[in-house]
């Protein structure tokens, strides 16, 4: 499943906001055993557990948008919109903080 979030913040500020969002997600939802690692300046590989199943994905930061892609097994596809909504909400909150100058 793929999802795009537009941001108009520029690349560097979007990178910072996305990194903070991923950190915040790990702190807020430790029960999902979240993992994330930056494999390049603009791509993070992420994983978390839902109902005993490990889901993996990617977050790509670009100049005007952030793309999220989750590899969701067929059995979990009814819940993929919920999972994506939680991730998007966290990223949007940090994008808003970035727009308001509240990242530091």
Going from the N-terminus, what domains does the chain have, and what CATH number goes with each? 2-97 (3.30.310.80)
Distance between CA 68 and CA 81 in Å, rounded? 12
pTM of the model as a whole: 0.86
**What is the per-residue pLDDT for 100?**
94
For the chain, how long is the longest CA-to-CA vector?
41
Distance between CA 95 and CA 13 in Å, rounded? 9
User: Residue range 7-30: average pLDDT?
Assistant: 93
**What is the per-residue pLDDT for 77?**
75
User: Residue range 34-50: average pLDDT?
Assistant: 93
What is the end-to-end Cα distance of the chain in Å, rounded?
Answer: 32
Q: How many helices (H) and strands (E) does the chain have?
A: 2, 5
Number of neighbouring beta carbons within 10 Å of residue 37: 10
């Amino acid at each position: 499943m793929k999802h795009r979030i537009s941001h108009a913040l520029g690349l560097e500020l979007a990178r910072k906001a996305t990194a903070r969002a991923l950190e915040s997600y790990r702190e807020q939802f430790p029960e999902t055993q979240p993992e994330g690692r930056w494999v390049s300046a603009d791509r993070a590989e992420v994983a978390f557990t839902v109902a005993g199943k490990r889901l993996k994905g990617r977050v790509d930061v670009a100049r005007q948008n952030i793309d999220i892609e989750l590899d969701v097994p067929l059995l979990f596809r009814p819940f993929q919109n919920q999972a994506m909504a939680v991730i998007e909400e966290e990223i949007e909150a940090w994008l808003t903080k970035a727009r308001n100058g509240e990242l530091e």
